[in-house]
Every structure is written in structure tokens, then in C-alpha cells.
Amino acid sequence: MPFVFRLPDIGEGLDEAEIVEWLVQPGDTVARDQALVEVLTDKASSELPSPVAGVVLTLGGAEGDLLHVGDVLIEIQDGSSGEAQAPPTDPARNPDKAPGNTPVAPPAIERPASGGRPKASPAIRKLALELGIDLAAVTSTGPGGRITAADLDAAGPESTASPTTPAPPPAVFESSTLGQMTPGRHALRGVRGVIARNMAQSWSEIPHIHTFDELDASLLLDFRTRMQGMGRTVTPLAVALVASARALQRYPLVNACVEDDEILVHERVNLGVAVATEGGLVVPVLEDADRLDVFATTAAVGELAERARSGSLAAADLRGATFTITNYGSLGGRWATPIIPPGQAAIFGMGRIADRPTVVDGAVVVRPVLPFVFGADHRLVDGDLLEAFKRSIINDLTEPLRLLVGA
């Protein structure tokens, strides 16, 4: 009998996964631990390896299908029984296996100049990130134009970013595919499908309230400049994250959610940080943010954002947030009404810091102003609590030195 490989429990309580891309087809010979399929779970892509060596018989679904844990993913004839025969290989589809043909290395597939996202598995993207290799500069030789580990080895140091001239973090993320789609009907799947389901759930279940405000960011920017002069990197976003963690400790009801007609107050302070990527919006999680200082937070957020944009996040990196910050100001926005993610009670939105007229000691002067908004679940958070929570964060943002002395 063939070996039946069912969708495993990938962890973190996930019970379903979407088939993103099959890496094998019926009739293909696979080795043990060879990647079979790329699946999407809660916005994170993962490759599932083959538990056995053998010949692929059938696939358990088409690309875009949603499977539940325990569903048949693939059937493989592993040679343990002669009862099930592998389907004959189609020479037209796989000429290397046709009689009389000698297998040869697949031809190199040049990356198109249009700037499309290179095809690579999450593991390869993570490896490229660790090696500092730009995947867009790598020539792929894998099936369907996918980049392999051997391609990274062949790329060599010439595809590695220069260590002396680090690229500045992008202020605005935009790609050639932004907002592009051909006329007609398209399946709502992938990352966009996950976003759609989460946002619809939040908007239908959570009664939102929002409060808008702005603050003088002079000392916030001065703090960043002074730290840079001391050789330390700090970003306004990191300051906001630390300030939020401190406020959540002061007001634990904001670090909570409604679950099954009960109030669940989270034991940990895990902050979600919204990141715009080519595949859509993802929210990696900064775990135990209340234990990090502003410098460690800056480094950790930078790493999470880079992994998000390179597509190397794991499912665990996207789960467990108890509060979210969205910095739409990095995209040029001033105001927004962000939607609270499921399992949380509040969200903090930051706009773009810009010079604006403001009143200081009765005189109109020009100062850098940070607009921001807080959204909260009105089932848990009333106006007085929301304003107290907001004031706690404002105090830290207007005088960031408080974060260094623990005031």
C-alpha cells in the first residue's frame, strides 16, 4: 500500500493550511526529507518535507485549496509493497525520464528584469538573509525557476550586500506589483485571504472606539539624534513600543481580550508590529517586549521587519500578539482608523512626523508633530481608561529619557 502523508499539526494551535505551491507532481521520484509542498498558515509560509523516499502517486489538493490537519496531503509509493503502482511517467512532461534520455542539469533560469519577487522557499530566504545575499541577484536553477541552496553557494560574495555601506531601511515600501491585478474574478486566498478573514472577524465582533491626538516630537527626534551621536541606534517606533509595553503593565485590562464571554488578561506583553511586504500586510510579534530596553527593541524590530520582507518568518513569529502598533506614517499617512486584530483589546497607530504650526507659551511656532490614534474594544475599555493609557504613552514619547532612567 502507498504511504499516505496527512497534513501534520504544524504547531501553535493551527488546524488548517492553504496549499501555496506544489514542488512535486505525480510520477516524480522524491527523496526522504525532500520538500514536497509550500503551505501557508496564518500568513507564514512553510515547506513540508517528505517522510519517505519513493514515487509520488497523488496530490491531496490543488494550489489554493485549504486543508485541515489530518487531511490527506499526498500519497507516495515508498516501495514497501508492490500492490500500488506509481503512475507512468509522461515523457512529454518529464523528458529527462524518457527512454534513451540522459538526465542533465536543468538550465539556469535568469531572473526577469521586471523586479518580480524571486521564487524561493522560506528556508532559502532565511539562509539568504543570514548570508546577506540579495535573492534578486541570484540565478536560479531549481524547478520552475526556484532558487536552491546550491544557487546561493554559486552566487558567491558578489551577491552579498556591502558591509561598509548598509542600505537604509525603506521609508516607504512599494513594488512593481502594488495594486496590480488583471480584470475578472480572482480567488481570495493566500495572505490576502488571511487578512480578509481576520479583518472581517474583528470588525464584526469588536465594537471599536478611537481617540485621535498629536504631540510635539521635538525631544523624541532629539533623543534619536543624541543616541546616534553616541553610536547607539534608536527609532521613534522602538520608543513607542517600549512606551506601549510600560503602559500595558500599568493598565493590564488593555492587555486583554474577550474570549468565550470571559475576559482573558494576558500574562505576557507581546507586541505585534505591522509590516508592509510585497505579499501583503504581516504582523510579526515582539515577544516579552516589557523585558527589552529601547536599544534591544530597535534591533529586534529591525530584524523582524527584514525577515518579514524577505518572506522568512515562521508561523510562530506571527502568533501571540496581545497589542499591536501600526506605523502607517512610514508610508506617508497622517491619520487612520486601524482595526483591532482578533484576540486583542487595543491598537496604536502612528502617523508621519512632519513640521506643523503649534502653540508654545502662547506663540505660534513650527515644531515636528507626531499624529497618532488609539483604537480600543469598547467591551473592555471605556473612555477614561483609554485616555489614561494614552497619556502614559504620550509622557514617554515627549520625554524619552524616562525610558533610560525608569521613571
Residues labelled catalytic: 378
CA–CA separation, 87 vs 275, rounded Å? 44
Please give the order of strands across the beta sheet that includes 29-30: 3-6, 72-77, 54-59, 29-30
DSSP state for residue 174 in the 8-state scheme:
-
CA–CA separation, 226 vs 232, rounded Å? 9
Angle at 33 (CA atoms; ends 27, 34), nearest 5 degrees = 45
User: Using CA of residue 339, residue 340, residue 346, residue 351, what is the dihedral sign?
Assistant: negative
Q: What DSSP assignment string belongs to 203-262?
A: HHH--EEEEEEEEE-HHHHHHHHHHHHTT----HHHHHHHHHHHHHHH-GGGSEEEETTE
CA–CA separation, 348 vs 336, rounded Å? 10
Burial state string for 326-349 with b = 16 or more CB within 10 A and e = fewer than 16: bbbbbeeebebebbbbebbbbbbb
Angle at 376 (CA atoms; ends 280, 238), nearest 5 degrees = 60
Distances (CA, A) of 298 to 131, 286, 388, 395: 21, 11, 26, 20
Residue 275's closest CA among 303, 247, 234, 246? 303
Instruction: Indicate the SS3 state at residue 34.
Output: coil
Q: Which helix (H) or strand (E) holds 148?
A: none
Half-sphere exposure of 157 (CA within 13 A, CB side): 2
User: 290: burial class by Cβ within 10 Å (0-12, 13-18, 19+)?
Assistant: middle
Instruction: Indicate the SS3 state at residue 96.
Output: helix
Instruction: Indicate the SS3 state at residue 281.
Output: strand
- Torsion over CA of 94, 95, 100 and 101, rounded to 10 degrees? -110
